Amino acid sequence: MAEAEAMHILLFGAGGQVGREISALARTQGHKLTALDHAALDITDPAAVARAIETSQPDVLINAAAYTAVDKAESEPERAARINAIAPGLIAERCAHARIPLLHISTDYVFDGTKPSAYVESDPIAPLGVYGRTKAAGEAAVRAAMERHIILRTAWVYGQHGNNFLKTMLRLAAERDRLTVVADQRGCPTATADIAMALLAAAHSAVRGDARWGTYHFAGTGATTWHGFASAIIEAAAPYTGRKPEVAPITTADYPTPAHRPANSELASDLFERHFGLRAAPWQQRVREVVATLQPPANTP
């Protein structure tokens, strides 16, 4: 199937920041899209999942639905498990029954962050908290239920939709003259636009029948710290806002949270590039683009 040919995509989690980006890109590329958010579909309900698949008869299913409140998960482990661990297995079982491939999004939080270099797909997982453990369990459930799947691990996700680190920094920069940001955790900031492109490229391959099934890493090109990420956001916004608050580095110990974060979340995306021919843009470039997109339109006479 050439890239110009349309697929019918069934998308779960259409209301999230990644789901909204997938929806926009799929429509731009001319695909038929059945996009369901959490109000339209409870992914923890096996009968509802089965009905959604049977009704839409898609070529491929993309599951972008997840419980992503990392700290809140520590106090809501059962809810996080239902959405992140159990539901992906139910979805995979129904996809296997319907003979359609599944693309499922996972996370860098399946690792403990102790590796000194970038994580590759074959590295052993060792999640530090409830969120990471439930996402790891969801991966395992997908693998156990079907062969024709692609699990895409990504990290430090941001974009123009939903709530994310970039938008939080822009809001705080408008309110404060000094920001304090953790400087001893590193990773690869990943734009939702790149994730959407990666998933649709993988979906094309899956529908064509030439995909190499399994688990892949896909993250923004280049690595930085949260402090470096925040500094780049403030720098990109300054020409629009006229503000440039100080961004002061702090340690993880200075900013305790309910959930432990990996000190190293860097993901190596070479395997995805080799198999699907796509690499994410440099993260600094995407930051500038997203910041520009979020600016209010200029006044016109």
Q: What is the largest CA-CA distance in the chain?
A: 60
Rounded CA separation 301/296 (Å): 15
Task: With beta carbons less than 8 A apart as the criterion, state whether 62 and 142 touch.
Answer: no
- List the chain domain ranges: 8-163+189-222+267-281
Q: Per residue in 123-181, pLDDT tens? A: 999 999 999 999 999 999 999 999 999 999 999 999 999 999 999 999 999 999 999 99
Task: With beta carbons less than 8 A apart as the criterion, state whether 231 and 248 touch.
Answer: no
What is the model's pLDDT at position 298? Answer: 52
Rounded CA separation 15/31 (Å): 18
Q: How confident is the model at residue 266 (pLDDT cuts 50, 70, 90)?
A: very high
Q: Per residue in 6-52, pLDDT tens? A: 899 999 999 999 999 999 999 999 999 999 999 999 999 999 999 99
Of residues 242 and 298, the one with the higher pLDDT is 242
**Residue in this structure with the two tokens 């990420």, named with its chain if needed:** 229
- H-run or E-run covering 171: helix 165-175
What is the model's pLDDT at position 276? Answer: 96
Closest residue by Cα to residue 184 from 232, 227, 233, 129: 227
What is the model's pLDDT at position 295? Answer: 84
What is the model's pLDDT at position 297? Answer: 63
Mean pLDDT of the chain: 94
What is the model's pLDDT at position 18? Answer: 97
What is the model's pLDDT at position 296? Answer: 73
b (16+ CB within 10 A) / e for 147-182: ebbbbbbbbbbbbbbbebbbbebbebbeeeeebbbb
Angle at the Cα of 220 from the Cα atoms of 66 and 113, rounded to 5 degrees: 70
Q: How confident is the model at residue 103 (pLDDT cuts 50, 70, 90)?
A: very high
Q: Average pLDDT in the 248-258 region?
A: 94
Choose, from 109, 131, 158, 216, the residue flagged as catalytic: 131
What residues have CB less than 8 Å from 234, skipping those under 6 apart? 169, 173, 179, 244, 245, 247
255 is an active site residue: no
CATH topology of domain 8-163+189-222+267-281: Rossmann fold (3.40.50)
